[in-house]
Amino acid sequence: MSKLLLKLESINKNFAGRPVIENVSLSLQQGEITTLIGPNGAGKSTLAKIILGLIKPDSGSRVASSAVRIGYMPQKVTIDPTLPISTVRFLQLANVSQQACHDALESMSISHLATTPIQNLSGGEHQRVLLARAILRKPNLLVLDEPVQGVDVKGQNALYKMINGLATSLNCAVLMVSHDLHLVMSATDHVICLNRHICCQGHPEQITQDPAFIDIFGQTTAVYSHHHDHDHNLHGEVLDETIHSHGADCHHD
Amino acid sequence: MTDFLLYALLAGLGVALVAGPLGCFVVWRRMAYFGDTLAHSALLGVSLGVLLDINLNITIIAIPLTMAIGLVFLEQRGFLALDTLLGILSHSALAAGLVVISLLPDVRVDLLSLLFGDLLAVTKSDLWMIYTVAAAVMALLGLLWKQLINITVDPELAAVEGTNVTMVSTALMLITALVIALAMKVVGVLLITALLIIPAATARRISHTPEHMAIAASLIAMLTVVMGLAMSWNLDTPAGPSVVISASFLFCLSLTYRRQLS
């Protein structure tokens, strides 16, 4: 069953007069994994925050279903070292029971870190704790901003597997932000290539046959390839407007 | 024991009680310079209050609050780094306060006691004021504790999970302004931040949860008030600086404590 959870229509956002999001529309359905890819400065995190309701767009509308419960995994949480706080206490801030916190740690296979000060965690452990907090409130929409940031390749694979499992077990919509143009999960249902505007979007392709690729990334990830019908200059502006039309007629090799 | 010493002790303990947990937030949220700015503008509050003949208890709180709101507004414009902005506001407020005091027709303001506190001149009505405000601050902190910790850890995560971040951080600003108005009596505008951050920094070394740290900071701040008053009584030193020096002494002691642990 697919249910519309959240919808953006013609969103525009400027920062200090500079456009960061231009005319973006998208919808997030229950049970669907959407990946937002694009270069640095493409406005991915800004768009994610508009979806979360943290940033108000200058124009356009954000319509959320009344049933939507959002779980958010920020890029990074920086906690001052002077604040003494354990991992399990960090999870309890989400206002859930102690048992729920331990269950979430368990499902991320990090129960042994419950009493560790959160500032002492490694990159991979840190990301798992953030993911645990995101799922604590049993969300039906997960927004993950660069979930594998600061994690080594092996750990990235494990994290992607976990996210995939979560999407299934929680039956939730997932919006994942990644700056990596080549590496996205094969299980992604929908890929949006963003560079301030939506360059193109569609289903990712299964290209997992290359032995070298499998050797490095394993079977679970795929190269997403699409035909880019236009180029960008260094400022992200579209170079040849005539051959490019946004979104609708993008096609994949 | 004479009355004025008892009053001084009770006033100091009341302020120390609330300085502990608030000082923790100042340390966690890196607001030390922010505290300085509010403290300096409290001096401006006093001088404006005298100049315009308004109740000082009102101006001492109103001027820092106005300053805090102005600060938030300027920060959102984002054309200057926050520390530069704080430096400008903080020292402008201090300078303006001093200039206004010098303009007052006859000197009715004891500048030294404003700058460094005048714990030994505390009256019974001051005590009432201190304990009423301290009770209000403790109630607010208790009520909002979980949300305050939440926005300190990560405001965006807290907002997504339903915390009203603007309301809670505004409340924290109000609490800070209230505590600074109180602490002015004890250590004066120039040393207020010290009374907030030194006990908290000392408590950090022996604490494993935010609550432990807040309670430990309160107890340490109270201890430094007792030590500072004893020092002031025996050596005839000014009370405010004596309290701060005692806090620094305990902080140095805490450094050796950690070394023994590891």
CA torsion through residues B14, B16, B18, B19, sign: positive
Q: Spell out the domains of chain A, with CATH numbers in brackets.
A: 4-69+139-209+219-243 (3.40.50.300)
Q: Is the pLDDT of residue B174 over 60?
A: yes
We report the CATH number of the domain holding residue B103 as: 1.10.3470.10
- Selected for mutation to probe chain A from B160, B163, B205 (highest A CB count within 10 Å) is B160
Instruction: Say if CB A2 and CB A31 are below 8 A apart.
Output: yes
Is A54 close to B160, i.e. CB distance below 8 A?
Answer: yes
Select from A183, A179, A234, A231 the least CA-distant residue to A204: A183
For residue B56, is it within any domain? Answer: yes
For residue B92, is it within any domain? Answer: yes
What residues of chain A lie within 8 A of the CB of B201, using their CB? 82
For residue B207, is it within any domain? Answer: no
Does the predicted interface ipTM exceed a cut of 0.95?
no
H-run or E-run covering A20: strand A18-29
Residue A210 pLDDT: 39
- Distance from the Cα of A139 to chain B's closest Cα (Å) equals 10
SS3 readout for B99-144: HHHHHCCCCCCCHHHHHHCCHHHCCHHHHHHHHHHHHHHHHHHHHH
Chain segment A126-147, per-residue pLDDT in tens: 999 999 999 998 899 999 998 8
Chain A window 95-124: which residues touch B at a Cβ cutoff of 8 Å? 95
For residue B200, is it within any domain? Answer: no
Instruction: Say if CB B11 and CB B119 are below 8 A apart.
Output: yes
Is A83 an 8 Å CB contact of chain B?
A: yes
What residue has token string 């001149």?
Answer: B121
For residue B236, is it within any domain? Answer: no
Is B212 an 8 Å CB contact of chain A?
A: yes
Domain tally, chain B: 1
What residues of chain B lie within 8 A of the CB of A95, using their CB? 146, 161
Is B156 an 8 Å CB contact of chain A?
A: yes
Burial state string for A137-148 with b = 16 or more CB within 10 A and e = fewer than 16: bebbbbbbbbbb
Q: What is the SS3 assignment for A23?
A: strand
Tell me which chain B residue has its CA closest to the CA of residue A115. B208
Select from A39, A8, A32 the least CA-distant residue to A204: A32
pLDDT over 70 for what percent of chain A? 75
Tell me which chain A residue has its CA closest to the CA of residue B209. A84
What stretches of A93-209 show up as alpha helix (H) in DSSP?
98-107, 123-135, 153-170
Chain A window 149-188: which residues touch B at a Cβ cutoff of 8 Å? none
Q: Which residue has the higher pLDDT, A1 or A252?
A: A1
CA torsion through residues B76, B78, B80, B83, sign: positive
> What is the average pLDDT across B150-155?
94
* Range of the structural domain that residue B111 is part of: 3-190
What residues of chain B lie within 8 A of the CB of A89, using their CB? 209-210
Q: What is the SS3 assignment for A164?
A: helix
- C-beta atoms surrounding B164 within 10 Å: 13
Is A83 close to B210, i.e. CB distance below 8 A?
Answer: yes
What residue has token string 């109270």?
Answer: B222
Q: Is the pLDDT of residue B1 over 70?
A: no
What residues of chain A lie within 8 A of the CB of B28, using their CB? 80, 82-83
Q: Which residue has the higher pLDDT, A191 or A237?
A: A191
Chain segment A160-177, per-residue pLDDT in tens: 888 888 888 888 899 999
Is B157 close to A77, i.e. CB distance below 8 A?
Answer: yes
Instruction: Say if CB B195 and CB B221 are below 8 A apart.
Output: yes
The Cα–Cα gap between B244 and B251 comes to 11
The tokens for B70 are 């102005």
DSSP structural state of residue A236: S
This prediction's pTM: 0.84
Q: Which residue has the higher pLDDT, B30 or A235?
A: B30
- Lowest mean pLDDT segment, chosen from A247-251, B182-186, B212-216: A247-251
Residue A206 pLDDT: 43
User: For residue B261, what pLDDT band results from cuts at 50, 70 and 90?
Assistant: very low
Q: Is the pLDDT of residue A226 over 60?
A: no
For residue B126, is it within any domain? Answer: yes
Chain segment B46-65, per-residue pLDDT in tens: 899 988 888 888 898 899 98
Is A82 close to B157, i.e. CB distance below 8 A?
Answer: no
For residue B102, is it within any domain? Answer: yes
User: For residue A58, what pLDDT band results from cuts at 50, 70 and 90?
Assistant: very high
For residue B251, is it within any domain? Answer: no
Chain segment A22-49, per-residue pLDDT in tens: 999 999 988 888 888 877 788 889 999 9
